[in-house]
Structure 1
Amino acid sequence: MEPTTILLFAAAAVASLFMAWVIGAGSSGATPFAPAVGANAISTMRAAFFVGILGFAGAVTQGGSVSEAVGSGLVDGISLPVGGDPAWGKYAEIGAVWVLTPFVGGGIAYGIASVLPRPDVPEDVSVPLLAG
């Protein structure tokens, strides 16, 4: 295997692991249950059971579509190791989203957190506003 291919694979692996760590992604899909388990609203085993049921339901209902999409030639195979040109415009878009996401998300979270605990805003207004 060529050194550039190995280097590209290593860089992609590091970037993927970093992104998974940053967003809290796990292979189990149990991340959305973490607050409920931490607050003792649901037991760990019950959360794992729900994750298993939902995972099975997703595999049954969408598994065929995923298999079909993966085998449909969605990826052309033109990339740097094969001699393709870098997609600088797409890289700029990805970089902009990567840089702006914490600020936009933080701003939205700060706005929500500053609106919710106000005694002058009734709950029947703030909760529907939070739900969108």
Structure 2
Amino acid sequence: MRRNLIVLMKLGLLIISIQGTYGIKCWKCISDDCDGDPENNYKAEKVSCKKGESCLKVLYQMHDNKTRYESVIRTCSSGECVPTPLYEYDECLSKDHGYLVLGCSMRLCCHESMCNSSHVYTIYVPVLLCLSLFIQMI
């Protein structure tokens, strides 16, 4: 009986230590078509992040005089995720950088499992854009 109790205690400690080394689960998609719903994208996968990491979605926008290129990646953050403020992203898009190609990125961070899917930010980005325009008008 005592031996069974010791085995159960060791098993419990093992389970707790395994759970303590992992963080949340996030979508990972690093390809040319990650802007859509990752649930329907065979290139997207569910990954376990390390403890202390967040889910990350990065919007890239690059263009020159002829071509516009937009891209999205989804993954776990590398350490603490620091989101890009909307005004910085807007400012970057409006600047003339003096290069042939203009490029800007916006990091979006979230802290719940699978929160970097496509629908999470589709509502927030337009609302934030309208809010920032309203604040600028004041």
* TM-score range relative to shorter protein: under 0.3
Structure having the higher helix fraction is 1
Give TM-score scaled by structure 1 length: 0.27
Give TM-score scaled by structure 2 length: 0.26
